[in-house]
């Protein structure tokens, strides 16, 4: 048998091979992360409309939309993306354009809210809309007496929207994987 001497590979080639290997691993991880992020649903939370005739309620509605966005964000960035500060989301009523929201934010869903006055009652209507076809997936109404503060409704509204997103968005995602 012939004895072969070990092949000597110069250090520079070993370093290049190690660098190329590390680059391939890093590229694979980046592609995996991008793939997972691409499958994560994104939800936009639009500014709520005040159709109650009481401009003093505007601040309450802004805080409510913010509380809902905060609650959804707590579900985890790996599970769901939340957008609530885009200019397109600040439009109200007839100025709101759902296809433009989808296009400018990349969101697949939007949460809408509108406050109405009905005699001595206030009704907050919350909706979850799928943006690709405009389908209303969920609607909930929360009623209160006219004189009641809306501050404590924030938690109830956030609870309701979170439950809807868990049911209609996150479960849909789980069913598609």
Of 44-53, 91-100, 125-134, 151-160, which range is least confident?
151-160
Q: What is the mean pLDDT of residues 92-106?
A: 92
Total domains in the chain come to: 2
Query: Is the C-alpha dihedral spanning 153, 110, 36, 24 positive or negative?
Result: negative
2 within some domain: no
Token representation of residue 64: 């409510």
CATH code of the domain containing 138: 3.40.50.10070
Range of the domain at 57: 40-176
Judgement on whether residues 59 and 126 belong to the same structural domain of the protein: yes
Helix (H, G, I), strand (E, B) or coil at 44: strand
Judgement on whether residues 118 and 32 belong to the same structural domain of the protein: no
pLDDT of residue 176: 45
> How large a percentage of the chain has pLDDT more than 70?
89
112 within some domain: yes
61 within some domain: yes
**Residue 173 in this model has a pLDDT that exceeds 60:** no
> How large a percentage of the chain has pLDDT more than 90?
50
Judgement on whether residues 115 and 87 belong to the same structural domain of the protein: yes
pLDDT of residue 32: 65
pLDDT tens digit string along 9-45?
788 888 888 888 888 888 877 766 555 555 799 999 9
Helix (H, G, I), strand (E, B) or coil at 50: strand
Considering 60-64, 117-121, 126-130, the range whose residues carry the highest mean pLDDT is 126-130
Q: Are 68 and 161 in contact (CB under 8 A)?
A: yes
- Long-range residue pairs from 102-108, CB within 8 A, at least 24 positions apart, any chain: 102/131, 102/132, 105/42, 105/44, 106/42, 106/81, 107/42, 107/43, 107/44, 107/81, 107/83, 107/131, 108/41, 108/42, 108/43, 108/132, 108/169
Judgement on whether residues 99 and 16 belong to the same structural domain of the protein: no
pTM over the 0.85 mark? no
Q: What is the mean pLDDT of the chain?
A: 86
């Amino acid at each position: 048998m012939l004895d072969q001497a070990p092949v000597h590979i110069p250090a520079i080639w070993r370093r290049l091979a190690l660098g190329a290997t590390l680059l391939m691993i890093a590229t694979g991880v980046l592609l995996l992360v991008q793939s997972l992020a691409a499958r994560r649903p994104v939800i936009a939370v639009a500014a709520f409309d005040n159709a109650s005739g009481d401009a003093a309620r505007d601040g309450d509605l802004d805080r409510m939309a913010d509380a809902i966005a905060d609650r959804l964000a707590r579900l985890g960035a790996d599970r769901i993306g939340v957008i609530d500060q885009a200019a397109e989301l600040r439009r109200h009523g007839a100025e709101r354009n759902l296809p433009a929201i989808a296009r400018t934010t990349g969101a697949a869903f939007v949460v809408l809210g509108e406050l109405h006055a009905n005699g001595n009652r206030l009704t907050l209507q919350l909706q979850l809309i799928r943006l690709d076809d405009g389908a209303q997936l969920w609607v909930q109404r929360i009623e209160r007496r006219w004189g009641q503060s809306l501050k404590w409704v924030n938690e109830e509204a956030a609870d309701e929207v979170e439950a809807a997103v868990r049911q209609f968005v996150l479960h849909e995602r789980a069913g598609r994987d």
